[in-house]
């Protein structure tokens, strides 16, 4: 489990790809402090197991499921990556619960200044925006961020200068793909309410109509948001 508060921007030392598996060599310093073999480190939001350590590097294996679902297939030597060690029980929860289980990818489409912040706009599949709401949480390349606005295929987040400096967002170019992990509570609620839009459900799940009849949901209620 992670918090989405990036500890260090490391870099890809080497990518060895065989079929749909990879061995990544990640250069870093801070996240190696206290780290031992078998520990978990989130690399651009993906929970990976440390399999080997060397001076200023750690190694991690990428399995086919991760290769297919994430941006790791596009990694090249020298690329910056966001890094975070698994949280300890005594740590402050500065972001939100991030599992390191990436849902899919989004494409960076544009950015715009907003006084002391920068608004980053992304495009992704409706199956993922389905789990997003304005003021909700999302992890982008492992960074815990607050959603500003959401449409059927786009969403945007606001970054302060500190976040730009301490993550690899400052190096993103239009067209780059990023890993996204939707808020796990949104996914659980969708399953519990029998929502078939994003994930499969069994026939005995709680239905939206059941909640509406019980007075928990307004049949006419809709939420209108914009990323314009």
For residue 62, give the 3-state DSSP assignment: strand
In this structure, the strands spanning 104-114 and 117-123 are: antiparallel
Of 171, 24, 149, 42, give the one whose Cα is nearest residue 95: 42
- 36 band by pLDDT with thresholds 50, 70 and 90: very high
Of 135, 155, 139, give the one whose Cα is nearest residue 96: 139
pLDDT at position 127 over 80: yes
> Start-end ranges of CATH 2.40.30.20 in the chain?
8-85, 104-185
Region of residue 85 (phi > 0: left; psi between -120 and 50: alpha; otherwise: beta)? beta
Q: Which fold has domain 8-85?
A: Elongation Factor Tu (Ef-tu); domain 3 (2.40.30)
pLDDT at position 188 over 90: no
Return d(Cα 20, Cα 142) in angstroms, integer: 22
Could you tell me the pTM of the whole model? 0.82
- 222 band by pLDDT with thresholds 50, 70 and 90: very low
Token couple for 84: 């975070």
Query: What is the average per-residue pLDDT within 121-126?
Result: 97
Question: 123, 109 in Cβ contact below 8 A?
Answer: yes
In this structure, the strands spanning 80-85 and 104-114 are: unpaired
Query: What pLDDT does residue 97 have?
Result: 78
Query: What pLDDT does residue 224 have?
Result: 41
The pLDDT tens digits for 67-110 are 999 999 999 999 999 999 998 776 676 667 788 999 999 999 99
Class of the CATH-defined domain 104-185: mainly beta
For residue 219, give the 3-state DSSP assignment: coil
């Amino acid at each position: 489990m992670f918090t989405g508060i990036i500890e260090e921007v490391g870099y890809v030392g080497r990518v060895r790809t065989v079929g749909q598996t990879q061995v990544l060599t990640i250069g870093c310093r801070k996240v190696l402090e206290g780290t031992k073999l078998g520990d978990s480190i989130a690399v651009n939001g993906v929970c990976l197991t440390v399999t080997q350590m060397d001076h200023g590097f750690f190694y991690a294996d990428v399995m086919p499921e991760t290769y297919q679902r994430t941006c790791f297939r596009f990694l090249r030597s020298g690329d910056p990556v966001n890094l975070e060690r698994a949280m300890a029980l005594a740590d402050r929860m500065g972001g939100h619960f991030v599992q390191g289980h990436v849902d899919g990818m989004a494409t960076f489409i544009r950015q715009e200044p907003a006084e002391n912040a920068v608004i980053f706009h992304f495009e992704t599949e409706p199956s993922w925006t389905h789990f997003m709401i304005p003021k909700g949480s999302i992890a982008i390349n492992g960074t815990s961020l607050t959603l500003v606005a959401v449409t059927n295929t786009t969403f945007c987040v606001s970054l302060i200068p500190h976040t730009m400096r301490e993550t690899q967002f400052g190096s993103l170019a239009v067209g780059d793909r990023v890993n996204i992990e939707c808020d796990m509570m949104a996914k659980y609620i969708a399953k519990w309410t029998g929502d078939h839009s994003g994930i499969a459900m069994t026939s005995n799940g709680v239905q939206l109509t059941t909640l509406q009849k019980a007075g928990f949901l307004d049949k006419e209620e809709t939420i209108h948001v914009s990323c314009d």
